[in-house]
Amino acid sequence: MSTPEYDPSIPDGGDTTQLDVNAPFVGFEFHSVYIAACTFIVYLILPGIGLLYSGLTRRKSAMTFLFQAFLVLAVTTFQWMFWGYSLTYSRDGGPYIGTLKNFGLIDALAAPSPGSAVLPEILFCLYQLLFGSCTVMILVGGAFERGGILASLIFAFVWETIVYCPLARWTWSSHGWLYNLPSIDFAGGGPVHIASGCGALAYAVVLGKRKGYPDASLKRPHNTTLVFLGTVLIWTGWLGFNGGSTLNASVRSYMAVMNTNIAGSTGILGWVLVDMIRNKGKFSMVGACEGAIAGLVGITPCAGCVTVWLGALIGFLTGIVCSACKNLNEWIRVDEGMDVFKLHGVGGMVGSFLTGIFADQYISALDGGTLIPGAINGEGVQVGKQLAEICAISAYSFGVTWVILMVMKYIPFLGLRANEDAEMVGLDRSFFVDEQIGDYSMLEGISSSPLIGVSKTSSSEVQPAETETKTA
C-alpha cells in the first residue's frame, strides 16, 4: 500500500466538490484515529497546569491561574490560526523561520501533512497547536503572584510568535537547522521545556521579587489537593503528548507511552529519596508531584528513542537533579516561586543531554525505519549536538524573552506587574468580579486594606463584647 503523497499543485488536498479527499488515506485511518485520541488527551495538560499552579500559589491569587489556563489556550489558538502554524511548518522558508504561505490556515486542510504523510494536514495542525499552548502556560508561572493578567495574554501572543515558532521550526521542521544537525528531540525537550523554563526565569527577573520575599509564608502551597489533581491531569495528558509524537500509530508510539509512565514513576522515586535524606525520613506530597513532573520532563526528548530501563534511569536521575536544586532560587537570587526553571529548564537540559548518551536506534526503528543512534550505538558526537541544542535554545529563549518583557515593561498602562496594592490583597480580588477560590465566608469582614486578615472592627470595639461574654 503506497503512502499518500503531497501534490504541490493541489496544496489543500483537492476540490472537495469534485473528488473524495479522504481516498488517499484509505488503509491509513488508524493513524489519524490514534493521533486524534492523543490530541484529546493532551488537552488535559492545560487545566492540569492551571490546577497545579493554583494549588502551589497562596489562596488569594489561586483563581488567576485557572483563568489563565483558559485564556492562554484561547490566545495561542488564535495565534496559531493567524500565522503561528505557517511560521513553524510552512513547506517553504528557511532553517530558522517559515513564511506566511499558510497564513490564516490557508491550504491547511486535507493534503498529507508536512510532519507525517499519513495524517491530513488539519489534524497535524491541531495536534501541534497544543504543544505551543502548553509551552506558554508553563512559562506564565514565572509571573507568580505579581504579573498582570492582560499583559500576560499580550505577552503570550508575542512570545509564541517570536520565540516558540522559531524554536519549533529549528527542531521539528524538515527545513530546521537543529533537525538537520541533527539533534534528537522526540517530543519537546528544547522548544517546550528548556524554552519555557528559561523564559519563565527571564519573566521572574524582569518583574523582580514579590513583596515580602523571601518570607516562608510566600513559599507555602495553599491547597495540596489541587497540586495532586493538577499533576494527575498533566501526567495523563503527557501520555498523549509523548505518545503521539511519532505522528503515527506504531510500536514506537506505544514504547513512548510506556517510557513516559515509567519515567514519571522513577522521577517520583528520585525526588522522594532526596526529600527523605533532606527531611530526615519525612515525606512531601508536593515533592512527589514535582518529582513526577521532573521525570516526565526528562523523558520527553527521548521517549521514543530509549529502552524501558534507560527510560527509568533518565526519570530517576532527572528527579534527583531537580530535587537537589531545591535552593536554586536562592543561589541565583531570583524569585521564581513556581520553580518552572528548576523543573522544566534544568529538567529539560538533563533529559536532552542524557538523550545524546542513551538514544538507541534499535528503539527508534520500531516505527518501521527511523534510525536515531546515540553514544551507546557508537555515535558519541551526538552528545555534542545535544549540547548545541541546549545552549542555542536556552540562550535564545532567555535573551529574547527578556527583551520582549523589557519593552512591555515601559509601555504605559499595560501593567506588566500588578501594583503593590493588588499584590498585597491578592490578584483574585484585584482582577475578578466578586469571584474567589473557596468559601466566601472566609473573606467576610476583611478590610479592603492591603493588610490581609485585619478586621474592619477595631480592637477597642471588640473589647466590650469580649468583656460581656466573659461576664455572661
Task: Identify the pLDDT of residue 215.
Answer: 76
* Percent share of the chain, pLDDT over 70: 92
Q: Which residue has the higher pLDDT, 369 or 44?
A: 44
Has residue 465 been placed in a domain? no
pLDDT band at 428 (very low <50, low <70, confident <90, very high): confident
Tell me how crowded residue 250 is: count the other CB atoms within 10 A of its CB. 18
Cα separation of 33 and 411, whole Å? 46
Least Cα distance to 148 among 342, 400, 398, 420 occurs for 420
Which amino acid would we find at residue 71? L
Mean pLDDT score across all residues of the chain: 91
Task: Identify the pLDDT of residue 216.
Answer: 67
Has residue 470 been placed in a domain? no
User: How far are the Cα atoms of 20, 39, 458 from residue 236, in angstroms, in the given order?
Assistant: 36, 12, 50
- Least trusted range by pLDDT, from 71-75, 89-93, 272-276, 436-440: 436-440
Please give the residue range of the domain that contains residue 328: 23-420
Has residue 346 been placed in a domain? yes
Has residue 428 been placed in a domain? no
Has residue 2 been placed in a domain? no
Cα separation of 330 and 467, whole Å? 48
Q: Read off φ and ψ for residue 184, nearest 5 degrees.
A: -105, 120
- Least trusted range by pLDDT, from 188-192, 278-282, 444-448, 454-458: 454-458
Task: Identify the pLDDT of residue 444.
Answer: 52
Does the pLDDT value for residue 449 go beyond 80?
no
Task: Identify the pLDDT of residue 220.
Answer: 82
How deeply is 292 buried, as exposed, middle or buried, from its count of CB atoms within 10 A (0-12, 13-18, 19+)? buried
Cα separation of 206 and 408, whole Å? 10
- Tens of pLDDT, residue by residue over 323-377, are 999 889 889 999 998 899 999 999 999 999 999 999 999 999 999 989 999 999 9
What mean pLDDT is predicted for residues 245-264? 97
Task: Identify the pLDDT of residue 442.
Answer: 53
Least Cα distance to 409 among 68, 138, 218, 143 occurs for 143
Q: Which residues of 82-105 are buried (b: 16+ CB within 10 A; e: fewer)?
A: bbbbbbbbbbebeeebbeebbeeb
Task: Identify the pLDDT of residue 440.
Answer: 55
Read off the pTM: 0.91
- Tens of pLDDT, residue by residue over 289-300, are 999 999 999 999
Does the pLDDT value for residue 465 go beyond 70?
no
Which amino acid would we find at residue 200? A
Task: Identify the pLDDT of residue 462.
Answer: 40
- Tens of pLDDT, residue by residue over 142-158, are 998 899 999 999 999 99
How deeply is 448 buried, as exposed, middle or buried, from its count of CB atoms within 10 A (0-12, 13-18, 19+)? exposed
Has residue 389 been placed in a domain? yes
Task: Identify the pLDDT of residue 450.
Answer: 46
What mean pLDDT is predicted for residues 113-128? 97
* Percent share of the chain, pLDDT over 90: 82
> What CATH number does the domain containing 225 carry?
1.10.3430.10
- What residue has cell string 496594592? 421
* CA-based max dimension of the chain: 93
What mean pLDDT is predicted for residues 136-140? 97
Total domain count, the chain? 1
Question: 257, 276 in Cβ contact below 8 A?
Answer: no
Is the Cα torsion angle 325, 291, 142, 165 positive or negative in sign? positive
Contacts (Cβ under 8 Å, ≥6 apart) of 23: none
Task: Identify the pLDDT of residue 366.
Answer: 97
Task: Identify the pLDDT of residue 443.
Answer: 52
Has residue 445 been placed in a domain? no
Has residue 173 been placed in a domain? yes
